[in-house]
Structure 1
Amino acid sequence: MDYSIARRRMVAQHIVSRGIHDADLIHVMEEVPRHLFVEEALQSQAYTDYALPIGEKQTISQPYMVAVMTEALQLKRGDRVLEVGTGSGYQAAVLSRLVAHVYSVERIATLARRARRILDKIGSSNVHIQVADGTTGWRDQAPFDGIIVTAGAPQIPQDYLDQLVVGGRLIIPVGDSGQQVLKRVTRVAEQQFDEEEILPCRFVPLIGEHGWSQ
């Protein structure tokens, strides 16, 4: 299978045609080898537009959702971004080619180790991974220009808001365990936040102190 052709077809059919316009993001998604982030038995499905299992009851997000969330962050090259939920590492790989540093938190050590190996293989050395409760963010590395949460939260944890720079953006699915709404929260002043709804979505639950219980 020619994965480069499959990637370009995926981006044309499922990303560009559905309204993603960021040229840098489009280029990155044509280049990042999504098939490396899924199990070998599923690699032939890597460039279809749906989520795939990665073990530990977790999934790799559908490419369109990765594109929507990444574009909504409105990234700049020098940004520092917090990702909550490393999972397969694919979202971190996309971010790594758009910003200066990605700080990714994963609660499941086996997934974190696997993601680290793949990210090292493709040269994403600016991704820093910590095994911890992602619902509290990563205080030692805060503040962040952007925060992206790849699991559904019952509400927006205050720690995320506190760890944003003024002008920074948080992208997070919020709702019940079965259905959420993807939201963008922008810190417009020290104690002022603007909240927007982007689209309905469905993610695995955000587990931890400020999320769902195990």
Structure 2
Amino acid sequence: MDYAAARQHMIDSQIKTNKVTDPSVIEALAALPREAFVAEAQRKLAYIDRPVAIGAGRRMTEPMVLARLLQSAHLKGGETVLVVGAGTGYSAAILSRLVKKVVALESAPELADRAKAILAQLGVSNVAVVAGDLGAGRPADGPYDFILVDGAAEIVPDALTAQLADRGRLAVVIKDQGIVGRGTILTKADGVVTPRAVFDADAEVLPGFTRPQRFVF
């Protein structure tokens, strides 16, 4: 399979046609081999416009959703970033080309190990992969100018927004118990977090980001 051609087709048919115009985001997507971040048996699916299984019951976010979230964050290049639910490291690798430093948090040890190996193989040097509870974030390396929740959430834990720097942004797909969600940017200013829905989107809800069930009597 010609992965370079598939990558260009993804950009032409999925990215540029869905209001992604930021040249830095497009260049990062064009430069990185998305197929390297999935298992060999899944590589032919690496560039489809749907989430792709990466193991541990998880899926890699659709390229268009990732691109629009990153574009909506208006990154300048000097940011310190946290990726929550980094999986095998694709979104962290994209961000490595857009910002100064990336902390990639992953709760599944096998995915974290694969992310470390893939990023090392690609020569990505400004991403630190760490294992831990996704909902708790990584306060030791914060505060963060930008947090990407690489997946969907029914709720965004306060622990994550607490790790945003003032004027920091958090990007996530917000879903309401299985209904197709909205790509959303949360901005923190003077301790107040304000959400702004940007576009319709779908993604897999990350472990620990579901709304608690309510019992009805």
Instruction: Tell me if the contact between 1:34 and 1:46 (Cα under 8 Å) persists in the aligned partners.
Output: yes
Residue 182 of structure 1: aligned partner:
183
Shift in CA distance, 195/28, structure 1 to aligned 2, threshold 3 Å: same
Segment drifting more, 161-170 vs 148-157: 148-157
Instruction: Tell me if the contact between 1:152 and 1:176 (Cα under 8 Å) persists in the aligned partners.
Output: no
Residue 197 of structure 1: aligned partner:
197
Instruction: Tell me if the contact between 1:83 and 1:103 (Cα under 8 Å) persists in the aligned partners.
Output: yes
Coordinate RMSD, CA, aligned: 1.6
**CA separation in 1, counterparts of 2:210 and 2:129?**
20
**CA separation in 1, counterparts of 2:138 and 2:163?**
8
Deviation at 1:14, TM superposition (A): 0.6
Segment drifting more, 174-183 vs 8-17: 174-183
Identity over aligned pairs, percent: 33
Letter in 2 for 1:183: T
Show the 5 A alignment for 1:20-59.
20-59=20-59
Letter in 2 for 1:11: I
Letter in 2 for 1:29: L
Secondary structure at 1:88 match in 2: coil
Letter in 2 for 1:104: A
**CA separation in 2, counterparts of 1:98 and 1:117?**
21
Shift in CA distance, 125/165, structure 1 to aligned 2, threshold 3 Å: same
**CA separation in 1, counterparts of 2:175 and 2:48?**
26
Residue 173 of structure 1: aligned partner:
173
**CA separation in 1, counterparts of 2:9 and 2:68?**
17
**CA separation in 2, counterparts of 1:200 and 1:12?**
20
Residue 140 of structure 2: aligned partner:
140
Shift in CA distance, 135/154, structure 1 to aligned 2, threshold 3 Å: same
Show the 5 A alignment for 1:142-161.
142-161=142-161
Across the two proteins, how many residue pairs are aligned to each other? Answer: 211
Show the 5 A alignment for 1:63-212.
63-179=63-179, 180-187=181-188, 189-208=189-208
- The answer for unaligned runs of 5 or more in structure 2 is 213-217
Letter in 2 for 1:69: L
State TM-score, norm by structure 1.
Answer: 0.92
Letter in 2 for 1:100: K
